Amino acid sequence: MSDNTYQLLAIIIYMIAMLAIGWYAFVKTSNLTDYMLGGRSLGPAVTALSAGAADMSGWLLMGLPGAIFLSGLVEAWIAIGLTVGAYLNWLLVAPRLRVYTQVTNDSITIPSYLDNRLRDNTKLIRIASGIIILLFFTFYVSSGMVAGGKFFESSFGYDYHTGLLIVSGVTVAYTLFGGFLAVSYTDFLQGLIMFLALIMVPLFGVFVTGGIGDTIASINAVNPDLLNLLPATATAAGIISSLAWGLGYFGQPHIIVRFMAISSVKETKQARRIGIGWMMLSLFGAIGTALVGVAYYEQNAGELKDAETVFIVLGQILFHPFIAGIMLAAILAAVMSTISSQLIVTSSALVEDIYKALFNKTADDKHYVFVGRMAVFVVSIIAAILAWNPDSSILSLVGFAWAGFGAAFGPVILLSLYWRKLTNYGALSGMVTGAVTAFIWGKVDALSSALYEIVPGFFVCLIVAVVVSMMTYRPNKDIEEEFNRSEVLLKEERK
């Protein structure tokens, strides 16, 4: 068999495994809470790895190694910021959100939680946040489909549209039928594949480049600054912007929804350890892959045409074609795990936060699960249409989506969990001004090149939410009672 055949075989086995998990989850899904939140039954390992896989996407296997291959460890400040942000997210948000969403009328989405927590009789928070999620995630899903199409085009020479349809079809199928459980279980497996691939490539690569000493010497021969976290070219604003990526975690719906689904508060501690351990080792693997790639090409007097393919190229050089195919599957896993996570959150926003809120419809769970599946299908069709042009500029919106979600939801989520005086008007005002600030700042080159838009967006949202809440606060017995009850339950479940 040719190398391509071996690699394609590995991809086919991976795809079949994803569909099999989707079928298993379909059998276990019986009501709306199962479909949208997995019945709040996820264990710590599945919660941790599914959150990590949903978060990292292709950036971990292509974007980060490519940036470090070109510029060195100065690009690792983003990884540091993300690790700190993820840790604080697990520590500060996960346990409280798990308890509070159950106390507030068993909320199963972030908008419904905010609506119930703040007693927003206007339903404006629910609808506005649902629309924000729907809008940005439709483009986010589309960008993942573009990546999938380009993956098959560059790896196997397939037509771009064929690759797009394959990736979209399999991902939509297991998300459509299996819901949140399918997304979480597949993300768990995808997280394992990504982790093993990122550890194996630099580990085997160091032997090929002559060990750690020779590898470092080769990197220094190219440019000693590649191993410097603070080269002369680094600026304070640049480092702050990179670290600020960590602020985004508090407001990412597809990540923090995992905290709502874990089986108990006690499990969040173990999940945090697993999740952060996975993240740190995976990031070290991505960094190591880039540095080994620099050494390899220096020693072999070669040239890498596209820095972002360093992981793929090293995998093909170092391993048997079938194993290299598994490496390719890791990239596909990163893309598909993010698409599926965003699809299920978008579906829940459409059903729980727009359909129910606008039409005030009461029906049985089978009806809502059906509407949820139709929402996944419709959003997927729209995303595929947007992705049909391979030169689409959708990918440029991904960075803004992270900043937009972080600025719109991050401060509001933190305040809702820790400050009993947050009001519905304060939350809505902060959410809107945070998103608008991030959008405008990101579109002005002079501003965005000086400082990442999440920084001003996050703090504008925080300040506005606090000021407006102080102006509109009125004591509410039900809100006070729920806040106190969540505090008591949190202490009890931590024992």
Return per-residue pLDDT of the chain as tens, 495 residues. Answer: 677 888 889 888 988 888 888 888 888 777 766 766 666 777 888 888 888 877 777 778 877 888 899 999 999 999 999 999 999 999 999 999 999 998 998 888 888 899 999 999 888 998 888 888 887 777 778 877 887 887 788 777 788 899 889 888 888 888 777 777 877 888 888 888 888 889 999 999 999 999 999 999 999 999 999 999 999 888 898 899 999 999 999 999 888 988 988 888 889 999 999 999 999 999 999 999 999 999 999 999 778 877 888 888 898 888 888 988 888 888 888 788 788 888 888 887 887 777 777 775 666 777 777 887 888 888 888 888 888 877 654 445 567 788 889 999 999 999 999 999 999 999 999 999 999 999 899 889 899 889 999 999 999 999 999 999 999 999 999 999 999 999 999 988 887
- Three-state DSSP at 14 gives helix
Whole-angstrom Cα distance, residue 97 to residue 90? Answer: 10
Residue 218: what residue type? S
- Three-state DSSP at 262 gives strand
Residue 421 inside a domain? The answer is no
Whole-angstrom Cα distance, residue 428 to residue 305? Answer: 47
Q: Are 187 and 343 in contact (CB under 8 A)?
A: no
Q: Is residue 57 left, alpha or beta, with left meaning phi > 0 and alpha meaning psi from -120 to 50?
A: left
Q: Are 233 and 13 in contact (CB under 8 A)?
A: no
Whole-angstrom Cα distance, residue 413 to residue 361? Answer: 27
Describe the chain by its helix, strand, coil percentages, rounded to 5: 85, 0, 15
Residue 432 inside a domain? The answer is no
What are the C-alpha distances in Å from 98 to residues 39, 102, 261, 262, 492? 13, 7, 7, 7, 13
Residue 206 inside a domain? The answer is yes
- CATH code for position 52: 1.20.1730.10
Residue 43 inside a domain? The answer is yes
Whole-angstrom Cα distance, residue 110 to residue 412? Answer: 11
Which residues are bridge partners to 262 per DSSP?
42
The DSSP-derived string for 386-452 is HHSSTT-GGGHHHHHHHHHHHHHHHHHHHHHHH-TT--HHHHHHHHHHHHHHHHHHHH-HHHHTTS-
Domain boundaries, position 283: 3-396
Residue 47 inside a domain? The answer is yes
Residue 422 inside a domain? The answer is no
Residue 127 inside a domain? The answer is yes
Per the structure, the count of domains in the chain is 1
Terminal-to-terminal C-alpha distance of the chain: 58
Whole-angstrom Cα distance, residue 55 to residue 242? Answer: 16
* Residue 208: alpha-carbon gap to chain centroid: 33
Residue the block writes with tokens 């108990």: 264
Residue 182 inside a domain? The answer is yes
Beta strands in 174-224 (DSSP E): none
Residue the block writes with tokens 């996960």: 94
